[in-house]
Amino acid sequence: MAKTAMDLASGLGGNIDKKEVLSAVDQYEKYHACHGGDEQARKENYTDMVNKYYDLSTSFYEFGWGESFHFATRWKGESLKESIKRHEHFLALKLGLQPGMKVLDVGCGIGGPLREIARFSSTSITGLNNNDYQITRGKVLNRVAGVDKTCDFVKADFMKMPFSDNVFDAVYAIEATCHAPDALGCYKEIYRVLKPGQSFAAYEWCMTDSYDPKNEEHQKIKAQIELGDGLPDIRTTRQCLEALKLAGFEIIWEKDLAVDSPVSWFLPLDTTQWSLSSLRCTALGRLVTRNLVKALEYVGIAPQGSSRVQSFLETAADGLVAGGRKEIFTPMYVFVARKPLSTSASPSSGAQ
């Protein structure tokens, strides 16, 4: 269900009072290094930061990207929409999903992947999300798609899941657990709610081995991505693997899918390229959206501060393209990890 210009305007700011959007933008930006913020403050206030981010950005995501807020490997001749669906199907196959399974989607957004995977695998999926606006949108879209009887949403923090131990047949996360301030804490919660012998799979946003934390250009790119995508920090692939092991998981398979993608994952955001299938993300599309938002803001249809949100999302896009070109960042480090059948040994404690 594509977003129109008026849909975009009505959704800007999410559940934030329209008179408070500009103030929320100010508060959100101050969390980030580009505006003088620091990592520790982002981690300590991650719930507020991430909620502000998704209230401010969700309508833009739907307008420009669709219902699934993630990247994908892409074959030549394949549209962005087709690649995103295949990416979701690939995760379902890696998890070995079977009809009737009870599945958890950690950080489900508005439920685009949830709906696609539920229909593809005939499973029942619970979407975990801590943002009221996204849950409201997801419920509407579930009804439209006809999956509202088998799929639902639960509002909760990744770090404090309101589920009993050992209740899910599978768990997945698509570009979501990177929003948690602590990878180990998040993975331990996933481990707890997953049944013994079952699997957790995820696509993670990570810095690669090519990232140099002492390189100022690399630091700037990382800060741009964190600002524009609501991230407390971006962990390395090695840190993710270590946190999984400390949480008690057995690593079944892991790979950075960006390395072998026939078409660069960041192509839809690259303003030097032209694409009809992702027109709103091209240089022309950005210009049209930017001017549209300014006009809607000027006449009072969109709240003050909306154009600032558009600006930091463009900053993120530029950072993502730069990070992808330099191969210091990947949005598709994928792994499949299993909870052992015997869980007598408790997972390690600590922070990541």
CB distance 242 to 352 below 8 Å: yes
pTM above 0.85? Answer: yes
**With contact defined as beta carbons under 8 Å apart, do 328 and 208 qualify?**
yes
- Kind and range of the H or E element at 147? none
At residue 276, the pLDDT reads 53
**Half-sphere exposure of residue 164, counting CA atoms within 13 Å on the CB side?**
3
Report the side by side order of strands in the sheet with 124-129. Answer: 151-155, 124-129, 102-106, 168-174, 194-207, 329-338, 250-256
What span, in angstroms and rounded, lies between the C-alpha atoms of 140 and 184? 33
Contact partners, residue 30, CB within 8 Å, separation at least 6:
36, 37
**What is the chain's pLDDT, residue by residue, as a tens digit (352 residues)?**
456 667 777 788 999 999 999 999 999 999 999 999 999 999 999 999 999 999 999 998 898 888 999 999 999 999 889 999 999 999 999 999 999 999 999 999 999 999 999 999 999 999 999 999 999 999 999 999 999 999 999 999 999 999 999 999 999 999 999 889 999 999 999 999 999 999 999 999 999 999 999 999 999 999 999 999 999 999 999 999 999 999 999 999 999 999 989 999 999 888 877 565 555 566 666 777 888 888 888 888 889 999 999 999 999 999 999 999 999 999 999 999 999 997 654 555 444 4
- Alpha-carbon torsion (200, 203, 208, 209), positive or negative: positive
Contact (Cβ atoms closer than 8 angstroms) between residue 178 and residue 234? yes
- Give the span between the Cα atoms of 12 and 96, in whole angstroms: 38
Is residue 103 within 8 Å of residue 201, measured between CB atoms? no
Strand boundaries in the chain, DSSP class E = 102-106, 124-129, 151-155, 168-174, 194-207, 250-256, 329-338
Do 58 and 134 form a contact (C-beta atoms < 8 A)? yes
What number of CA atoms fall less than 13 Å from residue 229's CA on the CB side?
26
User: Rounded to whole angstroms, how far apart are CA atoms 172 and 114?
Assistant: 10
CA distance 153 to 170: 16
Cα–Cα distance, 139 to 4 (Å, whole number): 19
| CA dist., res. 117 & res. 318, Å (int) | 30
